Amino acid sequence: MRRSIRTILGLAAATTVLAVGVPALATSASAATTKVSASALDDFEDSWGYDYSKYFHGSRAKARGDVWVDGADRLHVSGRLYDKDSPRWLCGYVQVKFENADGDESIDSAIKCGSNGYRTFHFWERDVDNAQVRVCYWDDNRDKKVYCGRWDYVYEADQDDE
């Protein structure tokens, strides 16, 4: 009899935890991409990350940061790039891609080699409709980027409100 009461109480507690946890997961997933109307650009500010490279034998490069618009209507993307436990020929590598309404793109990048600490980066562009971030590795032996994660939108202008 006691065993069945403990089982019922345990199931009730687990159900409560799941019911409380589900709305929190739905909220964080919907906040991944930020859309902003053109009139709200003057005071826009948000954080992004962590974004990751693909795995390389159990380690990954990662980055996180902030995005904001200044008084001169420049979109800024800044952050920290981490590279932990990578072989010495691989370095953490972050790319920031800005795109305007015409589809013109510009890409900036930063590299972090070695597992101690992080490297800061800061890029900005004018007249931007969206910005994306992607984390990769830079392979010094082949002089190219490898093991790239997916592009992640960190800023999108809401075209419907213009």
CA 75 to CA 108: how far, in whole Å?
13
pTM: 0.71
- Buried-state track 4-38, b at ≥16 Cβ within 10 A, e below 16: eeeeeeeeeeeeeeeeeeeeeeeeeeeeeebebee
Both tokens of 57, joined, read 């034998």
Contacts of 56 (CB under 8 A, 6+ apart): 86, 87, 90, 137, 147
pLDDT in tens, the chain (162 residues): 333 333 343 434 443 333 434 333 333 333 344 444 444 445 689 999 999 999 877 788 999 999 999 989 899 999 999 998 888 899 999 999 999 999 999 999 999 998 788 999 999 999 999 999 999 999 999 999 999 999 999 999 874 354
Task: Report yes or no: 71 and 90 within 8 Å, Cβ to Cβ.
Answer: no
